[in-house]
Amino acid sequence: MIDHELMLSDTLKYIKPSGIRKFFDLLADMGDVTALTVGQPDFVTPWHIREAAIQSLERGHTYYTSNSGLPELRAEICSYMKRRFDLDYTPGEALITVGGSEAIDVAVRSLVNPGDEVIIPMPSFVCYEPIARMAGAVPVIINTKAENGFKLTANELRAAITPKTKLLVLPFPNNPTGAILEREELQAIAEVLRGTNIAILSDEIYAELTYGKRHVSIASIEGMRERTIIASGFSKAYAMTGWRLGYLLGPAPWIKQMTKLHQYAIMCAPTVSQFAAVEALKNGDDDIAGMAAEYNRRRVFITEGLREIGIEVMEPQGAFYIYPYIGGFGLSSEEFCQRLLMEEKCAIVPGTAFGECGEGYARISYAYSVRHIEEALEKIKRFVDKLK
Partner 1 sequence: MEKLLHLLENDATLTHKELALMLSKEEGDIKSMIRQLEKDGVILGYKAIVDWDKTEKETVTALIEVKVMPQRDDGFDKIAEKIQNYPEIKGLYLMSGGFDFTVLIEGKTMKEVAYFVARKLAPIEFVTATATHFVLKTYKYNGVIYNSPKKDLRESDGI
Ligand X SMILES: Cc1ncc(COP(=O)(O)O)c(C=O)c1O
Residues near ligand X (CB under 6 A): 39, 99-101, 125, 171, 175, 203, 205, 233, 235, 241, 246
CB closer to ligand X out of 68 and 101: 101
324-333 as b/e: b if 16+ CB within 10 A: bbbbebebbb
- Residue 246 or 270 with smaller CB distance to ligand X: 246
Cα angle, residue 110 at apex, residues 109 and 116 outer, rounded to 5°: 65
Instruction: Specify whether the CB–CB gap between 89 and 249 falls below 8 A.
Output: yes
Cα–Cα separations (whole angstroms), residue 120 to 193, 275, 278, 317, 352:
15, 34, 32, 20, 16
Per CB under 8 A, 18 contacts partner 1: yes
Q: Select from 118, 23, 101 the least CA-distant residue to 358.
A: 23
Output the smallest distance, CB 192 to partner 1, in A: 30
Residue number with CB closer to partner 1 (151 or 244): 244
Q: How far apart are CA 288 and CA 302, in angstroms?
A: 21
Please identify, using beta-carbon distances, which residue of 45 and 235 lies nearer to ligand X.
235
For partner 1, the closer of residues 84 and 256 by Cβ is 84
Q: Which stretch binds partner 1 (CB under 8 A): 18-26, 155-163, 253-261, 318-326?
A: 18-26
Applying CB under 8 A, among 83, 145, 214, 297 the residue interacting with partner 1 is 297
Phi, psi values for residue 181, rounded to 5°: -110, 130
Minimum separation from the CB atom of position 160 to partner 1 (A): 25
Cis previous bond, 316, omega within 30: no
Which residue, 70 or 106, has its beta carbon nearer to ligand X?
106
Q: Residues binding partner 1: what is the number (CB under 8 A)?
A: 21
Return the range that interacts with partner 1 (CB under 8 A); candidates 33-41, 131-139, 161-169, 177-185. Answer: 33-41
Is there binding between residue 20 and partner 1 (CB under 8 A)?
yes
Q: What is the DSSP string of 356-376?
A: GGGTTBEEEE--S-HHHHHHH
Which residues partner with 169 through β-bridges?
A: 201
Asked if residue 121 binds partner 1 (CB under 8 A), the reply is no
**How near is the Cβ of 121 to ligand X at its closest, in Å?**
12
* Binding partner at 203 among partner 1, ligand X, none, C-beta below 5 to 8 Å by kind: ligand X
**Of 194, 198, 202, nearest to 219 (Cα)?**
202
- Nearer to ligand X by Cβ, of 37 and 101: the residue is 101
Q: Which residue is nearest to ligand X (CB)?
A: 99
Q: What is the 3-state secondary structure (H, E, C) of 76-121?
A: HHHHHHHHHHCCCCCHHHEEEECHHHHHHHHHHHHHCCCCCEEEEE
Q: Does 316 bind partner 1 (CB under 8 A)?
A: no
Q: Which does 233 bind (CB under 5 to 8 A by kind): ligand X, partner 1, none?
A: ligand X
For 211-222, the DSSP string reads SSS----GGGST
- Residue 34 bridge partners (DSSP): 346
Q: Is 102 in the site for partner 1 (CB under 8 A)?
A: no
Contact set with partner 1 (CB under 8 A):
18, 20-21, 24, 35, 37-40, 42, 44, 126-127, 212, 241, 293-294, 296-297, 300-301
